A and B are shown apart, each in its own frame.
Chain A
Amino acid sequence: MRHERRQRQTSSGISFNAVPMVDVIFMLTIFFMLVSRFSSAEQIPMELPKPEHSQASVVKIPERVIINCRVNGLLPAESPQAVFSIGPNQPEPLDVIARRLVAMRQKSPNLKVVVRADRRLPYAQVREVMRMLANHNIGMLNVVAHVDEKN
Chain B
Amino acid sequence: MRSRTDHRSTSQRQDSVIARVRERRLRRSRLRQGSAITMNFAPMIDMTFLLLIFFLVTTTFERAEGILASKLPQHTGKHQASLPIVPIVVRVQPDGTDHNAFTISIDGFDAQPTTFAALTSVLLDIQQQPGFDNETPVVIVASHDLLWDHVVASWNAALHADCRRVAFGD
By secondary structure, the B interface counts as mixed
Question: What is the total number of residues of chain B having a CB less than 8 Å from a CB of chain A?
Answer: 49
Query: Who on chain A is nearest to B145 by CB?
Result: A122
Taking residues whose C-beta sits less than 8 angstroms from the other chain, chain A's interface range is 35 or more
Q: Tell me if A122 and B148 are in contact (CB < 8 A).
A: yes
Among A8-16, A87-95, A98-106, A137-145, the one that faces the other chain is A137-145
Q: Tell me if A29 and B55 are in contact (CB < 8 A).
A: yes
Q: Does A86 contact B (CB under 8 A)?
A: no
Query: Who on chain B is nearest to A137 by CB?
Result: B76
Among B3-11, B20-28, B127-135, B153-161, the one that faces the other chain is B153-161
Chain A residue numbers with a CB within 8 Å of B99 are: 78
Chain B residue numbers with a CB within 8 Å of A53 are: 117, 120, 156, 160
Q: Tell me if B51 and A135 are in contact (CB < 8 A).
A: no
Question: How far is A3 from B64 in the complex, measured between Cα atoms in Å?
Answer: 63
Q: Tell me if A123 and B147 are in contact (CB < 8 A).
A: yes
Query: Who on chain A is nearest to B154 by CB?
Result: A51
Closest 5 CB pairs of A and B: A56-B66, A32-B55, A119-B149, A51-B156, A49-B152
Give B residues with C-beta under 8 Å from A. Answer: 41, 45, 48-49, 51-52, 55-56, 58-77, 99, 116-117, 120, 142-149, 151-153, 155-157, 159-160, 168
Give A residues with C-beta under 8 Å from B. Answer: 18, 22, 25-26, 28-29, 32-33, 35-37, 39, 43, 48-59, 61, 78-79, 114, 116-127, 130, 133-135, 137-147, 149
